[in-house]
Amino acid sequence: TTPRTPLMAGNWKMNLDWKQGLALVEELGDQLKGFDTDKVETVVLPPFVDIRTVQVAVDAGKLPIAYGAQDISAHESGAFTGEVSGAMLKALGATYVAVGHSERRQYHGEDEQVTGAKVKAAFAAGLTPILCVGEPLEERKAGNHVPYTLAQLTGGIEGLTAEQAEKIVIAYEPVWAIGTGEVAGADDAQEVCHALREALREQYGDVVADAVRVLYGGSVKSSNVVELMGKADVDGALVGGASLKAEEFAKIAGYQ
Ligand code: PEP
């Protein structure tokens, strides 16, 4: 259990065109009717091309759903073909953006320098970054998961003010648990989520460390979310596959 407002974020990845996205968000809105957003924050991260549709649906139905993007350009504007800026996302009513998802790190060569720049770009545009960190299997096997993940945190938050650091969301996603059906044990999740919070405490002090939401991600489902959320330093979940079904994702968001 967490003294912070839990956050359940659905990462659609490269799934659902705008029509399918619309159907999902409307169904999710139905499922979450009467949901108290002070108790749990529900967020969807659709592909860029679905965001306008999600915005219209959320506004029209006053749905208790926040939304954002899966990535952001590190640059403000200009000659960066194929990129999407923070200001463009902000203009769509987006409030969150994932930064440094392991698939971005793995397939798009994003390193700590890139994630650090993207975190700053998100803040500059008034968005809340969800900085994703987590170790691959070989680092876990070598017992190196904590230092590996903390190094990604250090790179991602470099140069942030305490005010910014207080707002960031961190998602601990062990790479071996993403999309594999292999969920980290709740104690494993707690170990790293706690280490992340303590690293923030060391760098920024108690106010920041006690405010930041640290999520767990990796094969979260309605059947394992309760146990994960029972851990002191787990403040929510970043959900891939299970966020593509409205009923299942609503169950995760309504885990209490
Ligand atoms: C993710 O992509 O962030 C993720 C956690 O995926 P899944 O829930 O499918 O493992």
With a 6 Å cutoff on the Cβ, whether 155 touches ligand 1 is no
Geometric angle at alpha carbon 179, from 175 and 183, rounded to 5°: 70
What fold does the segment set 7-253 form as a domain? TIM Barrel (3.20.20)
Q: Which pTM was predicted?
A: 0.97
With a 6 Å cutoff on the Cβ, whether 243 touches ligand 1 is no
Q: What residue segments make up the domains of the chain, in order of their start?
A: 7-253
**pLDDT > 70 fraction of the chain, expressed in percent and rounded:** 100
Question: Residue 133 C-alpha to ligand 1 middle, in angstroms?
Answer: 12
The neighbouring-strand residues paired with 42 are: 8
Please write the tens of the pLDDT for every residue from 48-81: 999 999 999 999 999 999 999 999 999 999 999 9
pLDDT band for position 180 (50/70/90)?
confident
With a 6 Å cutoff on the Cβ, whether 10 touches ligand 1 is no
Question: Residue 217 C-alpha to ligand 1 middle, in angstroms?
Answer: 6
Alpha helices in 162-223 (DSSP H): 162-167, 186-204, 206-211
Tell me how far apart the alpha carbons of residues 240 and 19 are, in angstroms, rounded to a whole number. Answer: 19
Whether the predicted pLDDT of 37 surpasses 90: no
pLDDT band for position 182 (50/70/90)?
confident
User: Nearest residue CA, atom 2 of ligand 1?
Assistant: 240
By CB neighbour count within 10 A (0-12 exposed, 13-18 middle, 19+ buried), where does 124 fall? middle
The neighbouring-strand residues paired with 56 are: none
Of 84, 176, 154, nearest to 122 by C-alpha is: 84
Residues 6+ apart with CB under 8 A from 252: 8, 220, 221, 222, 225, 237, 239, 242, 243
pLDDT band for position 35 (50/70/90)?
confident
